Structure 1
Amino acid sequence: MKKSTRLFELYKYLVDQKGPVSIQVLSEILDVSSRTIRYDLNEIEDLIQKYELKLTKKPNFGVLLEGEAEEQFKVFAEFNDFYNSRHFRSAKMRKYLILYRLFQKKEPILIFELADLLDVSSTTVSKDLDQVENWLTKKNLALIRRRNYGVQIEGAEIDIRHAMKSLLNESYETGNMIELLNKSNKKVDFKSRLEHGYDEEIKNLLGELNLEEIESVVKMAEKELSIRFTDSAFTGLIVHVAFAISRLLAEQDIKIDPERLKMIKKKNEFEIARKIGALLEEKFPVEIPKDEIGFITIHLLGAKMREGKASSELKEDELEYLVKEMIRVVEKYFSTSLAGDQKLYSGLLVHLQAIVNRIIFNLPIQNPLLEDIKEKYSEVFEASKLAARLIQSEFYVEISEDEVGYLTIHFGAALERINFQKRKKAKVAIVCSSGVGTTNLLEVRLKNEFKAIEIVDSLSSLDLEDNEILKEIDFVISTIPLSLEAKDVIEVNPFLEENDIEKIKDYLQQRKMEYGIFNEEKQKVSSEQKPVDYESLLAENTGLEPEEIIELLRPFLDKERIPAALEKIRDYFAAEKMKREAGTDLKDRKKDLLKLLKRDQIKIIERAADWKEAIKEAGSLLLAKDLIEPRYIKRMIEIVEDKGPYIAIAPEICLAHAGIEDGVKESAISLLVIKKGIKLGHQFDPIKFIFVLAPIDKKSHMPALTDIMEFANNRKLMDDLLAAESEGAAYKLLQNNFNK
C-alpha cells in the first residue's frame, strides 16, 4: 500500500472510532510495524493542525481523534485533492480519465481541454489518445479526431453501453464498486477510497440517480426469478440499469435487431425485465422502450448466479451432457476421477447456462481474477481451455480467456477437494531391458497417460541395486520381473497396454486416495465398545436410506456427530451413484470417435489450395457415402465466412460442422490430414487436421468430441498421423489409441 493511501486509511479508521485504539491494533489492521504507525500519526497530526481537530496519543490509553464531523470532512477533501493531483500521472490512468470524459460528453472535447484537465502537454494528450483509440477499437467503437473539431466517440449505442461497463470493470474492482454504490446511496462520497480517483467521473456517468431505488428493483428481479445473483452480477445489473436510465434521459436509446428481439421476447426473463421497466418508469421520469426491455433481459440471462437456475438455448439434458463431457476432458487431462463430485457438476451446470446466454446474445464478460488464475492454476487453465472447446464447437464462437478463467475456478476447486493440487507428483524410475527405443516409447506413453507421474530416471535392473535414486522415488515401473525390498514394483508391457494403465491407476489411487465415508481420525472406543466395520455395514444394507443407516450406527456414534454423519452418508451415496453412472458411460463409450470415424472417412494429402478447398475435401468423404447432402459442405464454409475462424479448436486442429437441419442423413465424422497445412487466419495455424462433424442431434456426438479434445492433447499421436504412409496406417494408430 502506498504511503499516501496508508495515511488516508489510517485517518479514516480513526474517524470511525468512538473510543481510543492501541498502536498494536492499528499496525495489525494496516499490516505495518508499530514504528511506521507512529511516524504516520505524526504526519496526520501535522496535517490536521489547521483544523479544529485533536489527536490524542498516550501510553496505556491509545490513540483518539476528536473533533466535529464538518472539520473531519475538510481533511477528507484535502486528502482527495492531494491524491487526485498525482493520481493521473500514469498513462494508464490518464487513458481511463479521458474515456470517462468522452463517455460523459455528447459534443466533441478539444485537445487543450484534456491537457488542462490532466495537467500535461497537448503532445502527451495526443499519445494518450492513441491508447484510447486502441481501447475503443476493441469495443467496436471509433474515436473521431479532427483538427479544430476535437475528439468524440462514435458507434452503436449497444457497444457504447458495453464499453462503459468495461471501463468501470477495468478501473474499479468489484468490491470497490460495491463500496462506491453503497456510499453513493448514503451520500458519503467524501470517504471514497484513495486507490481510485474516478468517483466523481463515475457519478457523472451514472447521473444524479437514486441507486437505492435501482437496487430495490434488482432485488425484485431476484425474487421473481427465484435466484440469487453473485455480488458482481448484482452490482453489474444495478450499474447497467443506471446507465440505461441516464442514457435514456440523454435521449440515447438502444436498438436491437428485430429478429433477435423476437427471440428474446420468448424468454421467461423478458417478462421479469418488463416488470423491471414498469417499476423504473414509476421511480424515474423516463419511458422504457421494448428494445431497452430486451437489453435488460439479455443482462438477466447472462448474469452469474449464486443460487437458482436460468433458462438457456440448450435443453437441460443437452446442458447436462455437455457438462459431463467437459468433466471427462479434464479427467483425462489429469488422469484422475471427478465423476463423484456433485458440487462440480451442479456448479458447472449453472455456470454453463449463463455462458451459453452470453454467447448467444454477445454479452461481454471480464474476469478480474484472470491473471491470478493463470498464474496459480496454469495447468488447470490449460485443461479448462480444452474443455471449453466443446462449447466453442457447439456455438461457432471462440471462448474468451475470461470465460475459461471462471471454468478453471470450478475445476480447480474440484481438484483441490481431492487434494490433487497439493498432492506431489509420484516420482518413478523406469527399468527397461529392451534398449533406448523401447524406454523412450514407454516414457512417452506414461507422460501422455499420467499427469500425476514424474519420471526421475530410466535405468537397467543392474543400475538399480543400492542406487541412491531409491531414496528419491516412490515406486518403480519395470518391463521385466523385478523384486525390490525398498520399493514397490509395477510390471508393465513396453507398449503400456490398457491393463497396464489400469494397474498403475489402481496403485496410484490406493496410495493417494482415502476411501470410506467417515473421518480419518480414529475415534476413541471404550473397552465395552467394539470397532465397527462401517464399510461392511453399508455393503450389507445397500437398499437402506441414509436415515435408516444412521439408526444402525447410532449406538456407535456420539450424539453430536450424528447430523454430520448423516450428511456424509448422503454425500457418499450421491457420489457413488454418479460414479456408477460414469462407469457405465465409459463402458458403453469405448471407441466413441471411431464409432463415427470409419476407415474410409480418413484421407491424407500433401497440401490443399486453401481452407475452403480443404473443408470441401474433408466433407466429400462423408458425401461420397451419402451421409450428408451437398448443401452441408456449402453451409460449413458459409459459417466460417460469417463467424470467423472459430472452427480452430487447438494448434493445427479444426472442427468444421453445420447444423442438424443443413443436410445430415446419418451421424458421422471425417478426418482430412494435410501434411503441409493450410492457413485459416487463426493463431492455431497452420491447420493440419480437419475433422468434419455431421451430427443428427445435440448430444450423441459429444463423447466423440471429447476424444477429439484428447487427440488435441496428444502430440505424439498427431506426429504419428502426419508421418503415416497410408490411410489404413493412420486408422490403425487411432484404433491403438482410442480402442484401449
Structure 2
Amino acid sequence: MVLDKASCDLLQYLMDQETSKTIMAISKDLAQSRRKIYYHIDKINDALDDEKLHIISLPRIGIHLTEEQREACRQLLDEVDSYDYIMSANERMQLMLLLIGISKERITLEKLMELTEVSRNTVLNDLNTIRYQLTLEQYQVTLQVSKSRGYYLNAHPLNKIQYLQSLLYHIFMEENPAFVAILEEKIKERLDGEMLLSDEVNQFLKKQVPLVEQDLGKKINHHEVTFMLQVLPYLLLGCDTVTRNQDKHQEIDQEFSLIRKRIEYQVSNKLGERLFETFGISFSELDRSLLAILLLSYRKDRDIHAESKDFQHLRMALEEFIWYFESQTRMEIEQKEDLLRNLVIHCKALLFRKNYGIFSKNPLTRQIRSKYSELFVITKKCAEVLEETWQIRLTDDEIAYLTIHVGGFLKYTPSIQNNFKKIYIVCDEGVGVSKLLLKQCRFYLPNEQIGAVFTTEQFKSVEDITQVDLLITTNDELESRFPVLKVNPILEAEDILRITDFMKNKVLRKDGRTFKDNLSTIIGTYISDKHVAAKLQEEIQLLINQELVIQAFLDES
C-alpha cells in the first residue's frame, strides 16, 4: 500500500464530507483531473483489505462514506508511515530544512538521503531549490555547507528563529496530517534521545498551560496554544544551534531588552525552572526570551492587563480608529468600550508579532474578503490611521482580523416574537470570530433567542443543567444530547440554508444534494467548459453571499 500526499488529501476530503460528492465536484474542489481522482480512489481501495469497504462512485449520486467506511479510512490514515507515504518535493525540502535548522549534529548529504529516502541527485536538486527559495524570503537566511559543520542555516540569530517559526507554521498549520506525523516520526528518530521531543515533555507542557495563563492573567487563544505546544520543542532546539559570536552578543541583548521587562519574561523563567526541576532541561537566555516573545505574540481571548496605563497610547490610537470608522461610513458601532477592550487585547499581540517578525496567518482572510468585501475595504481604509500612528504596514490577514472584531459590534435591532427557539453558539476560534458569528446568527435568526456564546470547555461544564433547541458550532467534534449544526466561522450560503431549514422543519438533514451541488449541475447543463462553469459558479455564489451578508450591515445603519 503506497499512499502519497494526493491520496491522503483525497481520503481526508471524503471523510470531511457530510453529503454525496460527484467525481466532477471532487475534481473541482481538489483542482485535480477526474482521471487522477479515479486513480487515487483505486489506490485507496487497494489499501482497504475488505472489499465491502471499497469506495464506489454511484451514477448521478457520487460518493458518500458510511460510518463503517469512515472508521476504516481513519485507521488507514493512522497506519500511514514513512514506508507507505510518498513525500512531494516540497515536503522533502521542508523536512530537510527543519532537520538542518534544529540539529546539533553535523548534517551530511548521506544523512539527508537517508532521511528522505531518495537518490543523491534528487537531494542535490532539492538543496539547490532550497537555496533559491531562501533568496526570495524576507528573513535573510542562506543554506551553507562546510567540511566541519556539514549543511547549516547561516543567519542572524533572530532571523533564524523567525524563519524556523515561519517554516513550522507552514508545516503544522497547512500541510497534510499524514506528512506531519511522518515528519515528527523521522525527526524524533534522527534526534534519538532528545528529551524535548519526548512524550513526557509534551504532556508536561500541556499541563503547564493553565499555570502559565494564570501567571500571565491572560487566556491564550485555543488554536494558538495548540500550535505553540506543537512547535515549541523545535524552536528551542533551533535556539540551541544558534551561535552567538561576540559581535552579535550585544545586538541580541539589546533587541530583547524590552522583553525582559514584561510579565511574559517572568512567566517564561518560572516555566524554565519547573522544566529543569522535572527533566533537568536548562533554558538559556535565548530560550527564555524566545518563549516570552511567543507568549506576547499569540492572540488572547482575555487579558486582565488590557486597561494598563502602559498601553494608553494603544488605546488612544484605537479610539481614533473607531471614531474614524463611524465618521466615514453609514454603520454604527454599539458597545464601543467592549470593542475597544477587545481591540487593545488583539493589537497588543499584533504589535509584538510585527516587532519581532513572528509569522501568523489568518485562515479566514479569503472568506472575509469574499463575503464581507465592503466591510473589509472600509476597515482597510480606516486602518491607515493605525498604520500611520504605529509606523507599520498591516497585511490583509491582519486587516481581516480587525474586520472580524468590528463586524461583531455593528448595531443590531432584534425582532420581537414570543414563539422563539433557544440557541447556543459553541466556538473555539477566539473572541473576535465568536462575536462575528453571533452577529451573523442574529441577523439570519431575528426571531430566535441566541442564549449565549461558549467555548467547548465552557459549554460542557453547563450542558447537564441547561436546555436548548439547537447548538450552532464551528467545531468538528462537538457531541451533545442537543441537535448540533456544524457551520463555517464565516457563514457560507450553504450554512444559511441549513440553519433556516432546521428552523422551519426542526430536522437536521444529513442526506441529499447541497445547494452548491445543484448549482454546479444546472450550470454544467448549459456550459460545457468546466473552467468557465466553475468561474461562473464562484461569481454567482459570491453575489449571493454579498447580497445576504454585506447588505445586512448597510440595512441596519
TM-score, normalised via structure 1 length: 0.43
Aligned to 1:257: 252
C-alpha change, 1:105 and 1:361, in structure 2 (3 Å) is closer
Partner SS for 1:257:
helix
Aligned to 1:337: 332
Q: Which has the larger radius of gyration?
A: 1
Aligned to 2:126: 125
Aligned to 2:313: 318
Partner SS for 2:85:
helix
Q: 2:416 aligns with which of 491, 505, 521?
A: 521
Please list, as runs of the form range in 1=range in 2, the aligned pairs for 1:59-458 lying within 5 A after superposition: 79-81=80-82, 84-85=85-86, 87-89=87-89, 92-106=90-104, 109=107, 114=112, 117=116, 119=118, 121-122=121-122, 124-125=125-126, 127-134=128-135, 137-144=137-144, 151-173=151-173, 193=178, 198-200=183-185, 203=188, 207-208=197-198, 210-239=201-230, 241-243=232-234, 245-247=236-238, 257-310=252-305, 315-341=310-336, 343-415=338-410, 418=412
**1-structure distance, mates of 2:40, 2:282:** 52
Q: Quote how far apart the aligned CAs of 1:115 are.
A: 6.5
Preserved contact between residue 102 and residue 153 of structure 1 (Cα < 8 Å):
yes
Residue identity matched to 2:404: I
TM-score, normalised via structure 2 length: 0.55
**2-structure distance, mates of 1:399, 1:327:** 17
Preserved contact between residue 88 and residue 94 of structure 1 (Cα < 8 Å):
yes
C-alpha change, 1:106 and 1:202, in structure 2 (3 Å) is closer
Residue identity matched to 1:129: I
Partner SS for 2:301:
strand
Q: Which runs of 5+ in 1 are unaligned?
A: 11-25, 178-191, 419-513, 525-559, 565-740
Preserved contact between residue 312 and residue 354 of structure 1 (Cα < 8 Å):
no
Q: Quote how far apart the aligned CAs of 1:325 are.
A: 1.2
Q: Deviations over 1:570-606 (max 9, x none)?
A: xxxxxxxxxxxxxxxxxxxxxxxxxxxxxxxxxxxxx
Partner SS for 1:172:
helix
Matched-pair identity in %: 18
Preserved contact between residue 301 and residue 357 of structure 1 (Cα < 8 Å):
yes
Partner SS for 2:258:
helix
Preserved contact between residue 225 and residue 272 of structure 1 (Cα < 8 Å):
yes
Residue identity matched to 1:102: I
Q: Quote how far apart the aligned CAs of 1:217 are.
A: 1.9
C-alpha change, 1:395 and 1:147, in structure 2 (3 Å) is same
Aligned to 2:422: none
Aligned to 2:555: none
Q: Quote how far apart the aligned CAs of 1:272 are.
A: 1.8
Q: Quote how far apart the aligned CAs of 1:323 are.
A: 1.6
Aligned to 2:522: none
Preserved contact between residue 139 and residue 159 of structure 2 (Cα < 8 Å):
yes
Residue identity matched to 1:159: N
Residue identity matched to 1:331: E
Preserved contact between residue 161 and residue 243 of structure 1 (Cα < 8 Å):
no
Q: Deviations over 1:98-139 (max 9, x none)?
A: 32232244466556765673646457425522443235x422
Preserved contact between residue 95 and residue 132 of structure 1 (Cα < 8 Å):
no
Partner SS for 1:198:
helix
Preserved contact between residue 107 and residue 152 of structure 1 (Cα < 8 Å):
no
Partner SS for 1:315:
helix
Partner SS for 1:358:
helix
Q: Quote how far apart the aligned CAs of 1:353 are.
A: 2.0
Residue identity matched to 2:217: S
Residue identity matched to 2:134: E
Aligned to 1:685: none
**1-structure distance, mates of 2:302, 2:110:** 51
Aligned to 1:590: none
Residue identity matched to 1:242: P
Q: Deviations over 1:680-733 (max 9, x none)?
A: xxxxxxxxxxxxxxxxxxxxxxxxxxxxxxxxxxxxxxxxxxxxxxxxxxxxxx
Preserved contact between residue 239 and residue 286 of structure 2 (Cα < 8 Å):
no
C-alpha change, 1:146 and 1:55, in structure 2 (3 Å) is same
| RMSD (Å) for aligned C-alpha atoms | 4.8
Partner SS for 1:144:
strand
Q: Which has the bigger relative contact order, CA under 8 A and spacing at least 6? A: 2
Q: Quote how far apart the aligned CAs of 1:213 are.
A: 0.6
Higher helix share: 2
C-alpha change, 1:271 and 1:3, in structure 2 (3 Å) is closer
Q: Deviations over 1:427-479 (max 9, x none)?
A: xxxxxxxxxxxxxxxxxxxxxxxxxxxxxxxxxxxxxxxxxxxxxxxxxxxxx
Residue identity matched to 1:200: E
Partner SS for 2:153:
strand
Residue identity matched to 2:394: I
C-alpha change, 1:42 and 1:336, in structure 2 (3 Å) is closer
Q: Quote how far apart the aligned CAs of 1:54 are.
A: 9.2
Preserved contact between residue 6 and residue 40 of structure 2 (Cα < 8 Å):
no
Q: Quote how far apart the aligned CAs of 1:169 are.
A: 1.2
Q: Quote how far apart the aligned CAs of 1:155 are.
A: 1.8
**2-structure distance, mates of 1:360, 1:27:** 38
